[in-house]
């Protein structure tokens, strides 16, 4: 399974979590790879272009772009292509700092993996600015 980190987050987070996930994959039925949307689909790739491709791979996405959930046709694409979405809602329009995002991802990583490997897609979760992981309707 692939978990994509959206281009609104550092590709170094994806690369680092991919490395950290490797020894944990020994305990899973299916290995988890973590990739950056920017590295795989290119910088500036339109959501409407990469969402179907990620969905065809059975992927999940971690993003700060809450507009994907709000914009009707983008949300419909996520549902149509069966994506699992994890929205990290930043406390401001500037987003989380690199270290705050790293800490939040590390804090919720085990739960993200459990959800990604067990829950039927499509699904959507958000991590609030206060740091709680909650299901979305």
* 104 — pLDDT class (breaks 50, 70, 90): very high
Instruction: Report which of 4, 122, 118, 120 is spatially closest to residue 59, judged by C-alpha positions.
Output: 4
Burial environment of residue 35 by CB neighbours within 10 A (0 to 12, 13 to 18, 19 or more): buried
Between residues 122 and 93, the one the model is more confident about: 122
What average pLDDT score do residues 97-117 get? Answer: 94
Query: How do the domains of the chain map onto residue ranges?
Result: 2-135
Between residues 136 and 91, the one the model is more confident about: 136
CATH architecture for residues 2-135: 3-Layer(aba) Sandwich (3.40)
Instruction: Report which of 80, 30, 15 is spatially closest to residue 53, judged by C-alpha positions.
Output: 80
Predicted structure pTM score: 0.94
Dump pLDDT digits (tens) for 19-43: 999 999 998 889 999 999 999 999 9
Distance of alpha carbon 50 from the chain centroid: 13
């Amino acid at each position: 399974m692939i978990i994509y980190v959206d281009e609104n987050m550092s590709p170094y987070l994806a690369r680092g979590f991919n490395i950290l996930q490797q020894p944990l994959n020994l305990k899973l039925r299916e290995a988890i790879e973590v990739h950056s949307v920017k590295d795989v689909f290119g910088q500036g790739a339109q959501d409407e272009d990469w969402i179907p491709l990620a969905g065809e791979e059975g992927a999940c996405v971690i993003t700060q772009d809450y507009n994907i959930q709000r914009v009707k046709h983008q949300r419909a694409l996520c549902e149509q292509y069966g994506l699992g979405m994890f929205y990290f809602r930043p406390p401001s329009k500037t987003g989380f700092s690199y270290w705050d995002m790293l800490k939040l991802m590390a804090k919720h990583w085990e739960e993200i993996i459990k959800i990604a490997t067990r829950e039927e897609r499509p699904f959507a979760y958000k991590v609030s600015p206060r740091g709680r992981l909650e299901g979305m309707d």
